[in-house]
Chain A
Amino acid sequence: DIQMTQSPSSLSASVGDRVTITCRASQSISSYLNWYQQKPGKAPKLLIFAASSLQSGVPSGFSGSGSGTDFTLTISSLQPEDFATYYCQQSYRTPYTFGQGTKLEIK
């Protein structure tokens, strides 16, 4: 199975900060990488697909980059509604594994 490792596991930041979350795959997955946002008690929501494509309706402050084994999710200016847990997921090969999550908290 392909292992996905996110860093950091948790992060404290302030409204207006620029934040970057990293995801590393245990082998090359080309650009088959998705990012999801999950708020407490809610289902995950697709933010970014194919490493860098913004899902319709997602604010432009979110961006993704990377290919191969190393990927990043960047939030350019944190808004209050962005405090949540973020997961990366590879869709290169089944099982479609997720990272362990990065919890973004208010400082």
Chain B
Amino acid sequence: QVQLVQSGSELKKPGASVKVSCKASGYTFSSYAMNWVRQAPGQGLEWMGWINTNTGNPTYAQGFTGRFVFSLDTSVSTAFLQISSLKAEDTAVYYCARAYYDSSGYSFDPWGQGTLVTVSS
């Protein structure tokens, strides 16, 4: 079945970096873009951007430029989110979600299980 499996929770100190992985299975990885979505504690969903899994070209939403990097390892059907110079306000659950496209537009399905990144000294 189509599935996205993310790496485990991370506890980092301010100023450090973190790299979250999202491994896809059950479909052709390069056929669908991969989204990244942030959910701060007790808050709603925020689209961070996506990466074209065919070309590797990323698109970042406003507020997610500079310290946030999307990348791929297509040999193992895996997308990555790297966040550098971590701040306390980066504490959140980060989700990857496949961008499923048909004539009706894009929808996000499926989603990874989420990776909790906690930034604390």
Contacts and interface: CB of A to CB of B under 8 A. Distances in A.
Given A43-B112, A43-B113, A98 B107 contact: no
A18 to B, nearest CB: 25
Contacts of B104: 31-32, 49-50, 53
A46 B109 contact: yes
A95 B47 contact: yes
A5 B61 CA distance: 19
Contacts of A97: 47
Main secondary structure of the interface of B (DSSP, over half): strand
A92 B105 contact: yes
Given A97-B47, A101-B44, A91 B111 contact: no
A63 interface: no
A39 interface: no
B45 A98 contact: yes
Contact of A32 (B59, B105, B109, B114): B105
Please tell me the size bucket of the interface on B.
20 to 34
B108 A34 contact: yes
Interface of B: 35, 44-47, 49, 59, 61-62, 95, 97, 100, 104-114
A98 B47 contact: yes
A72 to B, nearest CB: 17
B109 to A, nearest CB: 4
17 contacts: A1-B62, A31-B104, A31-B105, A32-B104, A42-B113, A44-B45, A44-B108, A46-B107, A46-B108, A50-B105, A89-B108, A95-B47, A95-B61, A96-B35, A97-B47, A98-B47, A99-B44
Interface residues of A, number: 27
Given A31-B105, A32-B105, A44-B45, 19 more contacts: A36-B45, A36-B108, A38-B45, A43-B111, A43-B113, A44-B97, A46-B107, A46-B110, A49-B104, A49-B105, A49-B107, A49-B109, A91-B106, A92-B105, A95-B61, A96-B106, A98-B44, A98-B46, A99-B44
B95 A44 contact: yes
B105 A94 contact: no
A3 interface: no
Interface string A19-45: 000000000000110101010001111
